[in-house]
Amino acid sequence: MISPWDRWYTTSCCLCCHVRTGTIILGIWYMLINAVVLLILLSALNDPVQYHYHLTSSELGTDLDVMDDANMCIAAAISLLMILICGMATYGAYKQHAAWIIPFFCYQLFDFALNTLVAISVVVYPNTIQDYLQQLPGTFPYKEDLMSTNNMCLVLAVLLFVGCILAFKAYLIACVWNCYRYVSGRSTTEVLVYVTTNDTTVLLPPYEEAISIPPKDPPPQYVSA
């Protein structure tokens, strides 16, 4: 009987790419996005007046500031950590080190869980969408049009949007997991080499160990009396 994991296992993704190639492209894409975000955050920290990331309570309509220096530093640290995790996944897929892919896979699961909680919160508390729209700045485009829309239509639109995102993220998770299985399977088969004859199976050591074993001394020559 085929297990569900083996039934969904495949070595191709996006209809044409290998899972290793797809994981490498995905890791590089995430690194570029987080690098751009990190550059913007560092530029805003260097010149906060130009980037205007300090929004006042009158602009937000609330009593809280959306950003301060501490939050900017935390966001920059998270972006730097994400660059490291994505770089590890890219290196692990390229060099076929399965353990290096695990942190990126765990991040994908965490991100998927957060988006799932967002969808559940929209279903359980549909009025949160209107509350969120009211907290937006007055200069936000189409704010009045969105607030005048029926609440049920907003909930369906948000659920449809979040559902598409979840489906896409689930596919990317499956691609990275298949890459991990492929790389770990390749690593396992390269450790031991089996040579099978008709009636015997000989277990050979890895190539590195075989060449490192010192040769045995030849037997003494036979001297006839």
Q: Which residues of the chain have pLDDT under 70?
A: 1-16, 48-69, 138, 187-225
Handedness of CA 24, 25, 30, 33 (dihedral sign): positive
> What is the pLDDT at residue 3?
53
Encode pLDDT of 122-176 as tens digits.
888 877 777 777 777 767 777 777 777 777 888 888 889 989 999 999 999 988 9
> What is the pLDDT at residue 8?
55
> What is the pLDDT at residue 43?
85
- Tell me the C-alpha to C-alpha distance, in Å, between residue 10 and each of 38, 73, 144, 188: 35, 41, 48, 18
> What is the pLDDT at residue 183?
87
Residue type for position 13: C
Residue 118's Cβ-side half-sphere holds a number of Cα atoms within 13 Å equal to 16
- Tell me the C-alpha to C-alpha distance, in Å, between residue 8 and each of 3, 13, 78, 213: 9, 12, 33, 42
> What is the pLDDT at residue 197?
43
d(CA 27, CA 88): 8
> What is the pLDDT at residue 151?
78
| CA-only gyration radius of the chain, Å | 28
Task: Express the helix, strand and coil content of the chain in percent, nearest 5 each.
Answer: 70, 5, 25
